[in-house]
Amino acid sequence: MPSLEEHGGGRSKELSAPKLRVDTPERAGLDPEETRLLVRDVVDLTAGDEPWAPGAVVVAGRGPVIAVREASGWAVRYSAYDPATDTGVELPVRARVPMTVDTPFDLASLTKLFTSVAAVQQIERGTLGIDARIGAYLPDFREAAAHDITVRQLLTHTSGLRPELPLYDCADDAARLELLRAEAPSGEPGAHGYGYGYSDLNMLLLQQLLERLTGRTLDILVREGITRPLGMTSTDFGPCPGAAATEDQRRPWAKADRGMLRGVVHDENAWALGGVAGHAGLFSTGQDLAVFCRTLLAGGSYGPARILGPDFVELLLTPPGLGFAVDQPWFMGELAGEGAVGHTGFTGTSLVIDPATDTFVVLLANTVHPVRRAPDSGPRALVGTRMAMAVR
């Protein structure tokens, strides 16, 4: 099998891309007034008694320049959630933990992007076919094999699999694995059958496939193939003790009784799977995610490292996107259009990459601290709109 150095996750003599540097909006070709308003809007999200999030970090830039890098609010503000009053139990100010630009976050579903890149790396190496049937690699996953689910269908959420399974209620790993093996799609897989249906199970099956194919666990594949070559030293699967706090996770509003969470994965299924899952489990910082964004905008290279060739980055980002969502105004705002791509995470995380303008924006927030609420992506869309205005 080709080495990491030959096919992603290593160095390339042919391809090199400038590394990120912090500079002014003007040097990045951005409107300084719009970037100032972007920062103001993010600060406002964390203000008051009932903020959108207790704390947030925004990192945005164009080309190799980071023009916005700001933290606001608290990484830890509450000790618990009080269901009787439907409010958080606030810590004394001296006991709270301020948010900083280096605070790690539970990325939640942004993990799917890294799983997708790991899969496309195998496609580039020729060890995995994008239209290959899952049954060829995982014959013991009976229903996926019987319905001819393909790698492409997992990556584009057209497999017909339901959004999730209660793996957190299973007695042990063997029971969890059997539940996945026996899961049948709700309809005929493929764009001409069931069509699009967002599902964590797609990435869990993809994780199983990648681990079976390579003989390495997903955390090692991500570390060796993506984060280590790119110098993303603050990105890894948990535990991550210094991370922003998430939820006081208790039934009936959650699916497990775990108390206030900090530095351990929020997603109940990822937790049940030991913290390493294809759909959730990674922790990272705004700076590291800026490197990830810049790498994709530069065709898969960052400095002397290359994790994908340009053609395979194009495959990853071309509509409908492999793992990435394409042109979704509900969280991208006015950045949506002409092929902007990105993703959101349940804990309050998001990133958007716009190849047309060579821009990116990362918004990390702990919106589920101290308890999950009805999703509100309006602030994410506002940040995307501010960034689009800054380009204009």
Identify the CATH number of the domain in which residue 230 sits.
3.40.710.10
Question: In this structure, is residue 167 part of a structural domain?
Answer: no
The tens digit of pLDDT for each residue in 148-194 reads: 999 999 999 999 999 999 999 999 999 999 999 999 998 776 644 45
Q: Which of 280, 223, 222, 292 is nearest to 106 (CA)?
A: 280
Q: Is residue 157 part of a domain?
A: no
123 part of a folded domain: no
Res 187: pLDDT: 73
Q: In this structure, what token pair is assigned to residue 241?
A: 């003790």
Specify if 380 maps to a domain: yes
Average pLDDT over residues 219-237: 98
In a domain, 26, yes or no: yes
**Residue 283 within a domain:** yes
Q: What is the mean pLDDT of residues 377-386?
A: 97
Strand ranges (E), 298-377: 301-302, 305-306, 325-326, 341-345, 349-354, 359-365
Domain presence at residue 202: no
Residue closest to 9 by CA, chosen among 219, 254, 353, 300: 300
* Distance of alpha carbon 312 from alpha carbon 318, whole angstroms: 10
Report cis status (omega within 30 of 0) of the bond before 83.
no
Q: Mean pLDDT over all residues of the chain? A: 94
Task: Return d(Cα 288, Cα 239) in angstroms, integer.
Answer: 17
Using one digit for the tens of pLDDT, what is the confidence trace for 55-108?
Answer: 999 999 999 999 999 999 999 999 999 999 999 999 999 999 999 999 999 999
pLDDT of 317 reads: 97
What separation in angstroms does the CA of 307 have from each of 16, 127, 246? Answer: 11, 16, 31
Question: For the residues 231-243, what does the mean pLDDT come to?
Answer: 97
b/e code 301-321 from CB counts within 10 Å (16+ = b): bbbebbbbbeebbebbbeeeb
pLDDT at 337 over 80: yes
Q: Give the per-residue pLDDT at 190.
A: 67
In a domain, 98, yes or no: yes
Domain count, the chain: 1
pLDDT, tens digit, for every residue of 274-291? 999 999 999 999 999 999
Cα–Cα dist 280/271, whole Å:
9
Domain that holds residue 269: 10-104+217-391
For the record, the structure tokens of 9 come out as 């996750």
